Structure 1
């Protein structure tokens, strides 16, 4: 007789818990730069909140932070892609000034409609980016030299077309790009209810997307973070979204420029992480020769990265002109340094091939909070520049330390 088959009872393995813990540790280690910058941003905000007697996080100041740093964040998005490919663009501040000057001439002096002026300026930015991209991608002149020449060229052209004078004021419709707010559809009175509804909708959408992503990873056998960690992460992020929404709701609501920034962040994050073009950009930055041998059209990708940078520099120039309500010869001064610093502080590698759009935004916010906080404390521009320089140096040193440690 055959022996009766015995049921095998599968006991929960202790190894799975251990693996899950290891996965969490690995997740923290692999994202150390991102997490460290988020933590640094929070600590910097808390520090200036204490030093300024609570002024930093007041609704009015939070809104001003968004408005004052919007054009740098736009530049940082494009600059991150340029740095990922292993290049640099020193001309973006001058291009922004040149485009703002042209916008002033068209709208103020020649009364060209706002929509047509914006379109013309964005096309001009693309042409400028194509001009510089051609020299970098096809002629193989180092981007540092090409864009340094562009910085001088377009700064000079700005002074020429403005004749050393400012042009103002811009039409109210154009000013609303940088200083307008979304209307309250629910007429909440002193509290902007539409902003709270938007914040709640974003929170629900974020949880749904993250839950779907987590289930997809589990379905295909990928390691995921422990359930308690996932829950805490969701709770913290939702709390931040709702607190931020409430702060905005107690003032004027959602700034128009915040909608533009959100659209750019979502679109460029999708391109960088979910498209073939994004993979090609990272591949070129990692090893251009290997990317070329694998069939990637490296010259074409590099060319279009600079075209994109030109468009975003033009958009930044329009936003700054709308914010200032004037086109001035000194517009865009040191914008390129703030954008580059934002990218490196936000996790970009000095060697190329590493960086995220979200990291560029975090880095830009670090720079913006520092600028705003130091201004509230009454520190002069000299000390502000010195402190920002030290922060940039520390960020790049941290990147090189991590790279050497991984090797």
Structure 2
């Protein structure tokens, strides 16, 4: 009679070691996982380097980097809300029309009726929240698909914009309102030919980012979740830090720190923490990943879906204020095609078509890729039709890459 010993249990120390390399020793699997987690950052650096070369360095000039921030900030704000909507398995086609409507309401109050500028801002945000609640009601409590509800909203709120503005443009806003999107903070800490305050804020942000991602990595290792290899992790952090500090140096040598960039940074930090570290954030991922399982687990799906669209409406209101401030007025055609840019930013940044996957930071990187491509092609004198073709191909390739990764992941299990 032979006795068989049970297989030895994995020690606690060995689990983190395996998780450190993604929970597997297969090099091909490691490469695929690392590419999915860090490929967007590599792509961003490559695209920046390419257009910097094609534009003879003009792309990375201090003035042009400042212009990129000012010109595309409202798209990045929309991308924050859109990636949350997409993670939950929905879509919002109305955000461009909501940007136009909120800007129109603000313009009527401030320009036509003479209210203080902050009344216009508050009214725009309130209208955005009301629109989000309207969409959330039909999606969450009536059960209509978000695609249909927001498609109807795109038409409805564009029509309301025309009625609010009476088919005319309104301008100009007072100087205080214009500073929301065109103002700068500089000279607070001095500097010899540059703004030291901008560099200080950037360094603080890089340190905070490094601490945050390191803590996230440790938490994933504790729960034996797959993570990228440590050398690649360090490389990513150093690369992000270098890009941010270079970006800040260029801003410091131009006009200083844009106010709109501060607004955007606050939103990114707040929503990044919300999606990663709160119950509501985890419920969003649960709904998008497996709706039936989320329901059986006690997630109040209707309530979460409702607040997802309220949040999207709020951020559309913020984008409406920024865009109307940037353009110094409100136009009936404002916000045209903004929803497609926001959706593209989310998908290029790693959001999955089926939901359950995506990050706020990834959406920001995806939005910056779109911004750099648009700005670079404009500097090169490429016509608008060709720019649309290139953007469409990039979006198609990003979604194809996501599908390819999912198939490979399924094949290696």
TM-score (norm 1): 0.90
Evaluate the alpha carbon distance shift between residue 304 and residue 192 of structure 1 in structure 2; reply closer, same or farther with a 3 A threshold: same
Select the residue among 263, 266, 271 that pairs with 1:268: 271
SS in 1 for 2:142: coil
Tell me how far apart the structure 2 counterparts of residues 148 and 164 of structure 1 sit (CA, whole Å): 22
Alignment pair present for 1:235 and 2:238: yes
Tell me how far apart the structure 1 counterparts of residues 229 and 408 of structure 2 sit (CA, whole Å): 27
How far 1:226 sits from its partner (Å)?
6.5
> Which residue of the partner structure matches residue 143 of structure 2?
140
Contact 1:77/1:361 (8 A) holds in 2? yes
> Which residue of the partner structure matches residue 184 of structure 1?
187
How far 1:341 sits from its partner (Å)?
0.7
How far 1:194 sits from its partner (Å)?
1.3
> Which residue of the partner structure matches residue 360 of structure 1?
363
How far 1:186 sits from its partner (Å)?
2.2
Contact 1:93/1:151 (8 A) holds in 2? yes
Evaluate the alpha carbon distance shift between residue 406 and residue 250 of structure 1 in structure 2; reply closer, same or farther with a 3 A threshold: same
SS in 1 for 2:58: coil
Select the residue among 388, 402, 405 that pairs with 1:402: 405
Contact 1:106/1:117 (8 A) holds in 2? yes
Q: How does 1:44-83 map to 2 (within 5 A)?
A: 44-83=47-86
Q: How does 1:5-404 map to 2 (within 5 A)?
A: 29-188=32-191, 190-209=193-212, 231-404=234-407
Contact 1:34/1:359 (8 A) holds in 2? no
Evaluate the alpha carbon distance shift between residue 28 and residue 250 of structure 1 in structure 2; reply closer, same or farther with a 3 A threshold: farther
Tell me how far apart the structure 2 counterparts of residues 134 and 71 of structure 1 sit (CA, whole Å): 26
- Aligned CA RMSD, in angstroms, stands at 2.5
How far 1:228 sits from its partner (Å)?
5.3
How far 1:79 sits from its partner (Å)?
0.5
Which whole-Å deviations, capped at 9, do the CAs of 1:94-140 have from their partners, x for residues lacking one? 01001101111000011111222211211111111101111111111
Contact 1:34/1:346 (8 A) holds in 2? no
Tell me how far apart the structure 1 counterparts of residues 121 and 229 of structure 2 sit (CA, whole Å): 48
Contact 2:22/2:227 (8 A) holds in 1? no
Which whole-Å deviations, capped at 9, do the CAs of 1:360-399 have from their partners, x for residues lacking one? 1111011111111111111111111111111111111111
> Which residue of the partner structure matches residue 7 of structure 2?
none
How far 1:241 sits from its partner (Å)?
2.7
Tell me how far apart the structure 2 counterparts of residues 154 and 14 of structure 1 sit (CA, whole Å): 57
Evaluate the alpha carbon distance shift between residue 268 and residue 89 of structure 1 in structure 2; reply closer, same or farther with a 3 A threshold: same
State how many pairs are aligned: 395
Tell me how far apart the structure 2 counterparts of residues 18 and 315 of structure 1 sit (CA, whole Å): 44
Evaluate the alpha carbon distance shift between residue 217 and residue 145 of structure 1 in structure 2; reply closer, same or farther with a 3 A threshold: closer
SS in 2 for 1:360: helix
SS in 1 for 2:351: coil
Evaluate the alpha carbon distance shift between residue 189 and residue 173 of structure 1 in structure 2; reply closer, same or farther with a 3 A threshold: farther
How far 1:15 sits from its partner (Å)?
12
SS in 2 for 1:56: helix
Tell me how far apart the structure 1 counterparts of residues 345 and 41 of structure 2 sit (CA, whole Å): 13
Contact 2:22/2:225 (8 A) holds in 1? no
Which whole-Å deviations, capped at 9, do the CAs of 1:232-277 have from their partners, x for residues lacking one? 4443333223222211111011111111111111110111011110
How far 1:402 sits from its partner (Å)?
1.3
SS in 1 for 2:185: coil
Tell me how far apart the structure 2 counterparts of residues 141 and 229 of structure 1 sit (CA, whole Å): 43
Tell me how far apart the structure 2 counterparts of residues 275 and 15 of structure 1 sit (CA, whole Å): 26
How far 1:183 sits from its partner (Å)?
2.6
* Larger Rg belongs to: 1
> More deviation in 189-198 or 157-166?
189-198
How far 1:22 sits from its partner (Å)?
6.4
Tell me how far apart the structure 1 counterparts of residues 20 and 129 of structure 2 sit (CA, whole Å): 48
Contact 2:20/2:230 (8 A) holds in 1? no
Tell me how far apart the structure 1 counterparts of residues 19 and 80 of structure 2 sit (CA, whole Å): 36
